[in-house]
A and B are shown apart, each in its own frame.
Chain A
Amino acid sequence: MHHPLHQNVSNLDAPLQAKDHISVFHVKGVTKVYQMGEVQVHALRGIDLDLYQGEFAVLLGASGSGKSTLLNILGGLDAPTTGDVFYGQRNLTRATESELTDYRRYHVGFVFQFYNLIPSLTARENVAVVTEISRAPIKPEEALQLVGLGDRLDHFPAQLSGGEQQRVAIARAIAKQPDVLLCDEPTGALDSQTGIVVLEALQRVNQELGTTTAVITHNAGIAQMANRVIHLTDGLISQIQVNKHRLAPHELTW
């Protein structure tokens, strides 16, 4: 059996189409201040940003520049100190705890730097944990096949390599068919070759399912596969760069 999503993605240079300019996220004047004992840490100092439907955006910045903070706020994991975040028409900053839970449950997929799989569950079960509570999931087996792990279904995380674990994490994130996929340094803990495999999986999902994807990295090389690159410096957006010509993951070097 050959899943349609398994064919190689070719048309990377296609310009963003009109529908892609519909804003999925609308971020306005967002700041985030952490209180660390006596000191205040200004992680975000006033962010204005739109993310468009179907786009593959990369958030690029040095360590400590506020990337994770921003992504967590987009994903409803954290609330900004001031400012508003709209998901479509919904203002996430006004949402209650249970509305945020529903938002994460039905709309968002996460991929983390350290995979964060549940060690006591197999690959299949790690995906099932999520599909069991979503509305229109694809089967865990299918999701794992999508990331090339159809033959590792019953392995426990400890029996998988880092790259394989991260691909399980991606399968877990996409199995619910989320509207947005938020990835925090998905290749951060991987060597470049394994990283490329993971990025290919992400890109395939973005292309085939049309999932709006935001990927955090501090690695400028990866930025070249994005539609847009959003540069963060010290809690502020310093530059937004649109890639006229996107590279395929296997063309990337870092």
Chain B
Amino acid sequence: MKALDKKLWRELWGMRMQALAIAMVIVGGVSIFIMSLSTVDSLFETREAYYRNNHFANLFASLKRAPLSLTKRIEEIPGVERVDHRVIAYVNIDVAGFDDPVSAHLISLPDSSSGLLNQIYLRSGRLLEHDSDNEILLSEEFARAHKLHSGSKLSATINGRRKSLTVVGHALSPEYIYQIAPGAMFPDFMRYGIVWMARKPLASAYDMEGAFNNVTLTLSKGSNQQDVIDQLDELLKPYGGTGAFGRKDQLSHRFLSEELKQQKTIATVFPIIFFGVAAFILNVVTSRLISLEREQIAVLKAFGYSNFAVGWHYGKLVLMIVSIGVIAGIGIGTWMGKGMSNIYMEFYSLPFMIYVLKPQVVIAAALISITVAILGTLYALRTAAVLPPAQGMRPEPPAIYRPILIERLGLQDWFSQPTRMIIRHIERRPLKSFLTTLGISMACGTMMVGGFQEGAINHMVEVQFGMSQRSDLTAIYTEPTSQRSLYSLRNLQGVEQVEGFRAVPAKLMFEHRFYRTSVQGIQPNGDLLRLLDTRLAPIDLPEQGVIITDYLAELLHIKPGDMLSIQVLEGNRPTVQVLVAGTAKEYMGVNVYMQREALNRLLKEGNAVSGAWLKVDPYYQKDVYVALKNMPRIAGVIEQRSAIKSFYDTMAETILFFTFISTLLGSSIAFGVIYNSMRIALSERNRELASLRVLGFRRSEVAYILLGELGLLTLLAIPLGLLIGYGLCAYLAFQFDSDLYRIPLVLDRDVFAFAALVVIVSALISAVMIWRNLAHLDMVAVLKSKE
């Protein structure tokens, strides 16, 4: 090895703690980068492979009932490749020993087959046998939640008739990777499942022999999806079609796409912070090293080392530190990426997970780190390269101190001499002090993101289910039913309040923009569903016009006072113009509300309801469930609160993982910045402090002068960091907004407190490590040596 390289290795070893602290910050950037991008790639590749293998459809449409002969005409639409027709029903399920309401989608499956499109993936057991009218396959998560195996039995209320069914296997479907009940927000595997059943018995139960009520199709390459949708809608219109839609509006697909989008945001935002901080610390450390080695640089040049050779020498040191960070970051990032992918595999019902770590991602991580490090240290490296040797031989001119602000203000008597030294030191290099503060505050800000997610979800749930939707149960009728049916609900023992609602699928249009959702006809001054304004105060639903979700107003660029056109996708499909009377704050979904009577007038349907919200005395809850299950008109019952609880149970581990990682990363930044700054301060002021020791200062007094500066900067950094954290969360919340859900920008006090605490602890740990160094201040050397 070249002698100069030995110098490099020894110096690296000598500053190993500092190098490690910097490398940790780079590890943070690289690992998040690798983690998120490899998760994105893995999730994407897995989804694509799954879709391909199992023939996931391109278009989906539901209708009331159409004869099978119609499929021929669908096949003839130009651009259509394959058509699959099914019978799908939404039913109540009864699992022995579980009293809560359970609902399921019952999907027809051709005999002994996994389907034509949206093929199921058989996880265990076997396919349905020919003509068996009581065999079913269960979605795996649901089966596992209830410990239902091949041979287990459950019963379902199929078109009003209770039927006993036998499980023959577990399956997954590309159509239900994200498995949630209609109108629900979170997956709840206890209370919602997918059940596959043979076509024949299902069709006969619903009077669908020789008919279908759901059709999915694949498109040939190069076909225009919108054209096919339009023609399909035209064909299905007479049969009660509710409008065809593509993958991008398919619920499960949408959730996955949002997830991918979020991971991509994470892959950009966090590495930027980490690389920025790493560049700053590297710059500080390299500058200090180079100024300490001025004379060595001069000697090397005096002996004929070129400017480039000297610059490159220190460049190599930077690269060595970066390499440690990059290599460790790739390792940890891969580990975290696999962990994330596994969490996704749990959270989403995926049959397999292809972990993809693209070489481009690794190379990009390495190149970005190296580029950032070199850019960050370029100035310092240049200083080394161009330092004139004759000048390097002379000691650096003494630092220039000026009277500081407090002195100019005449306040110096208020501060002790050591405190004045601290403030003077900070004021002397305002840029460096500011960047140090900024670096520490970045740590503080980063840490707030972990806690933010949890707090935001809490708030979202509290507003949505505590203040807005205040019912305990939602009962959904098999079809629009007379309002009078609500009496039978009201008469159940334990039911305190009942409010009926009418929901119809509709296409909303404003100018050239449109959106598909459902219009909800609700009771004007209802108690069980209250619309809230931005200040979360209830708003009245006027007799005329509609109230829309605030996010819908943004999507359509529509504002109160404008006219919205609504095309109802049911019945006689009227299109009407209605006044937008106001907007409502909602964190989940996108809705349009109008008075139920007004909606019914529009539909010319009399006083029908699609379902009802119920408020139930907890004491009678079980009885109410049983009674509802036995009502033939009720297709399903949803209980949001337990869904939320089970969601929390699933999320608890995930949230813990995120909090752990964000704390680790945040504290690595804090430690990296603070420890390095302290080390450098110690090296710069070694002589000064040793002289003070000679003059009789105690170690603690000397430590105060040295550490007080960083202490002060840390204290300044905390409020700034909390501000940055708030901004960061706001940015993420903004980026993560979608019509599925909006993450409210709500930060609990303990999120702030925790971030501040971690920063303070990191500072204390650094201080303890420096305190040990202070014991070795060489007082004798100060008296003897030059300068």
Interface of A toward B, CB cutoff 8 Å: 68-69, 72, 75, 77-78, 97-98, 101-106, 108-110, 112, 114, 116, 118-121, 125-126, 128-130, 132-134, 172, 176, 189
- On chain A, the residues within 8 Å of B10 by CB distance are 120-121
- On chain B, the residues within 8 Å of A98 by CB distance are 306
Q: Which residue of A is nearest B785, CB measured?
A: A114
Q: Which residue of B is nearest A133, CB measured?
A: B304
For B304, give its contact among A69, A72, A105 (CB under 8 Å). A105
With both chains docked as a complex, state the minimum distance between the C-beta of A120 and any C-beta of chain B, in angstroms: 4
Known A77-B298, A130-B303; 4 more pairs at CB < 8 Å: A72-B393, A75-B302, A114-B295, A129-B4
Question: B85 within 8 Å of A by Cβ?
Answer: no
The reply to whether B3 and A116 form a contact with Cβ atoms under 8 Å apart is no
Give A98 to B307 CA distance when docked, in angstroms.
8
Question: B390 within 8 Å of A by Cβ?
Answer: yes
Known contacts A77-B388, A116-B299: does B7 contact A104 (CB below 8 Å)? no
Give A69 to B300 CA distance when docked, in angstroms.
18
Question: B772 within 8 Å of A by Cβ?
Answer: no
Give A116 to B7 CA distance when docked, in angstroms.
14
Give A171 to B301 CA distance when docked, in angstroms.
17
- On chain B, the residues within 8 Å of A119 by CB distance are 296
Closest 8 CB pairs of A and B: A105-B304, A78-B390, A128-B3, A120-B10, A104-B304, A72-B390, A77-B390, A125-B3
For B11, give its contact among A110, A120, A128 (CB under 8 Å). A120
Interface residues of B in 248-306 (CB under 8 A from A): 295-296, 298-306
| 5 pairs of residues in contact across A and B, judged by CB atoms under 8 Å | A108-B304, A112-B393, A116-B393, A119-B296, A189-B786
With both chains docked as a complex, state the minimum distance between the C-beta of A105 and any C-beta of chain B, in angstroms: 2
With both chains docked as a complex, state the minimum distance between the C-beta of A74 and any C-beta of chain B, in angstroms: 11
- On chain B, the residues within 8 Å of A172 by CB distance are 303
Return the CB mask of B380-404 against A: 1 if under 8 Å, else 0: 0000000011100100000000000
The reply to whether A101 and B388 form a contact with Cβ atoms under 8 Å apart is no
Interface residues of B in 1-58 (CB under 8 A from A): 2-4, 6-7, 10-11, 14
Give A50 to B393 CA distance when docked, in angstroms.
25
The reply to whether B3 and A101 form a contact with Cβ atoms under 8 Å apart is no
Q: Which residue of A is nearest B9, CB measured?
A: A120
The reply to whether A118 and B304 form a contact with Cβ atoms under 8 Å apart is no
- On chain A, the residues within 8 Å of B388 by CB distance are 77-78
With both chains docked as a complex, state the minimum distance between the C-beta of A38 and any C-beta of chain B, in angstroms: 15
Give A133 to B299 CA distance when docked, in angstroms.
14
The reply to whether A101 and B390 form a contact with Cβ atoms under 8 Å apart is no
The reply to whether B4 and A106 form a contact with Cβ atoms under 8 Å apart is no
The reply to whether A77 and B301 form a contact with Cβ atoms under 8 Å apart is yes
Q: Which residue of A is nearest B306, CB measured?
A: A101
With both chains docked as a complex, state the minimum distance between the C-beta of A60 and any C-beta of chain B, in angstroms: 20
Give A126 to B3 CA distance when docked, in angstroms.
7
Give A130 to B14 CA distance when docked, in angstroms.
23
The reply to whether A104 and B303 form a contact with Cβ atoms under 8 Å apart is yes
For A104, give its contact among B6, B14, B295, B302 (CB under 8 Å). B302
The reply to whether B307 and A132 form a contact with Cβ atoms under 8 Å apart is no
With both chains docked as a complex, state the minimum distance between the C-beta of A250 and any C-beta of chain B, in angstroms: 27
The reply to whether B786 and A114 form a contact with Cβ atoms under 8 Å apart is yes
- On chain A, the residues within 8 Å of B2 by CB distance are 132
The reply to whether A101 and B302 form a contact with Cβ atoms under 8 Å apart is no
The reply to whether B389 and A77 form a contact with Cβ atoms under 8 Å apart is yes
Known contacts A77-B389, A132-B2: does B303 contact A118 (CB below 8 Å)? no
Give A247 to B66 CA distance when docked, in angstroms.
122
Give A77 to B302 CA distance when docked, in angstroms.
6
With both chains docked as a complex, state the minimum distance between the C-beta of B235 and any C-beta of chain A, in angstroms: 80
Known contacts A72-B390, A110-B299, A116-B296: does B305 contact A133 (CB below 8 Å)? yes
- On chain B, the residues within 8 Å of A75 by CB distance are 302
- On chain A, the residues within 8 Å of B7 by CB distance are 118, 120-121, 125, 129
Known contacts A72-B390, A114-B786: does B295 contact A101 (CB below 8 Å)? no
- On chain B, the residues within 8 Å of A103 by CB distance are 304
With both chains docked as a complex, state the minimum distance between the C-beta of B762 and any C-beta of chain A, in angstroms: 30
Which of B296, B300, B302: most chain A CB closer than 10 A?
B302
Interface residues of B in 291-346 (CB under 8 A from A): 295-296, 298-307
For B299, give its contact among A78, A97, A118, A128 (CB under 8 Å). A118
Give A116 to B297 CA distance when docked, in angstroms.
10
- On chain B, the residues within 8 Å of A68 by CB distance are 393
Q: Which residue of A is nearest B391, CB measured?
A: A78
With both chains docked as a complex, state the minimum distance between the C-beta of B281 and any C-beta of chain A, in angstroms: 22
Q: Which residue of B is nearest A184, CB measured?
A: B393
Give A51 to B304 CA distance when docked, in angstroms.
22
The reply to whether A104 and B301 form a contact with Cβ atoms under 8 Å apart is yes
Which of B11, B303, B786: most chain A CB closer than 10 A?
B303
Q: Which residue of B is nearest A105, CB measured?
A: B304
- On chain B, the residues within 8 Å of A133 by CB distance are 303-305
For B303, give its contact among A69, A97, A110, A121 (CB under 8 Å). A110
Give A72 to B391 CA distance when docked, in angstroms.
10
For A106, give its contact among B302, B304, B393, B786 (CB under 8 Å). B304
- On chain B, the residues within 8 Å of A72 by CB distance are 389-390, 393
- On chain B, the residues within 8 Å of A120 by CB distance are 6-7, 10-11, 14
The reply to whether A116 and B390 form a contact with Cβ atoms under 8 Å apart is no
With both chains docked as a complex, state the minimum distance between the C-beta of B341 and any C-beta of chain A, in angstroms: 45
- On chain B, the residues within 8 Å of A189 by CB distance are 786
With both chains docked as a complex, state the minimum distance between the C-beta of A73 and any C-beta of chain B, in angstroms: 8
With both chains docked as a complex, state the minimum distance between the C-beta of B398 and any C-beta of chain A, in angstroms: 14
Give A98 to B3 CA distance when docked, in angstroms.
22
For B307, give its contact among A77, A101, A116 (CB under 8 Å). A101
The reply to whether B304 and A102 form a contact with Cβ atoms under 8 Å apart is yes
With both chains docked as a complex, state the minimum distance between the C-beta of A75 and any C-beta of chain B, in angstroms: 7
Interface residues of B in 209-267 (CB under 8 A from A): none
The reply to whether A125 and B301 form a contact with Cβ atoms under 8 Å apart is no
Q: Which residue of B is nearest A129, CB measured?
A: B3
For A97, give its contact among B295, B302, B307, B390 (CB under 8 Å). B307
Give A97 to B386 CA distance when docked, in angstroms.
10
Give A224 to B298 CA distance when docked, in angstroms.
31
With both chains docked as a complex, state the minimum distance between the C-beta of B435 and any C-beta of chain A, in angstroms: 28
Give A220 to B203 CA distance when docked, in angstroms.
118
The reply to whether A121 and B304 form a contact with Cβ atoms under 8 Å apart is no
The reply to whether A132 and B304 form a contact with Cβ atoms under 8 Å apart is no
With both chains docked as a complex, state the minimum distance between the C-beta of A117 and any C-beta of chain B, in angstroms: 8
The reply to whether A105 and B303 form a contact with Cβ atoms under 8 Å apart is yes
Give A130 to B390 CA distance when docked, in angstroms.
18
Give A76 to B301 CA distance when docked, in angstroms.
10
Give A112 to B4 CA distance when docked, in angstroms.
20
Give A242 to B306 CA distance when docked, in angstroms.
38
- On chain B, the residues within 8 Å of A69 by CB distance are 390
With both chains docked as a complex, state the minimum distance between the C-beta of A98 and any C-beta of chain B, in angstroms: 6
- On chain A, the residues within 8 Å of B3 by CB distance are 121, 125-126, 128-129, 132
The reply to whether A129 and B306 form a contact with Cβ atoms under 8 Å apart is no
- On chain A, the residues within 8 Å of B307 by CB distance are 97, 101
The reply to whether B6 and A121 form a contact with Cβ atoms under 8 Å apart is yes
Q: Which residue of A is nearest B303, CB measured?
A: A130
Give A30 to B766 CA distance when docked, in angstroms.
54
Q: Which residue of B is nearest A128, CB measured?
A: B3
With both chains docked as a complex, state the minimum distance between the C-beta of B383 and any C-beta of chain A, in angstroms: 16
With both chains docked as a complex, state the minimum distance between the C-beta of A28 and any C-beta of chain B, in angstroms: 20
With both chains docked as a complex, state the minimum distance between the C-beta of B521 and any C-beta of chain A, in angstroms: 81
Q: Which residue of A is nearest B395, CB measured?
A: A114
The reply to whether A125 and B6 form a contact with Cβ atoms under 8 Å apart is yes
- On chain A, the residues within 8 Å of B6 by CB distance are 120-121, 125
Give A68 to B389 CA distance when docked, in angstroms.
12
Give A126 to B307 CA distance when docked, in angstroms.
19
Interface residues of B in 479-502 (CB under 8 A from A): none
Give A172 to B304 CA distance when docked, in angstroms.
13
Give A126 to B4 CA distance when docked, in angstroms.
9
The reply to whether A101 and B305 form a contact with Cβ atoms under 8 Å apart is yes
The reply to whether A129 and B300 form a contact with Cβ atoms under 8 Å apart is yes
- On chain B, the residues within 8 Å of A129 by CB distance are 3-4, 7, 300, 303
- On chain B, the residues within 8 Å of A125 by CB distance are 3, 6-7
Q: Which residue of A is nearest B394, CB measured?
A: A68
- On chain B, the residues within 8 Å of A109 by CB distance are 303
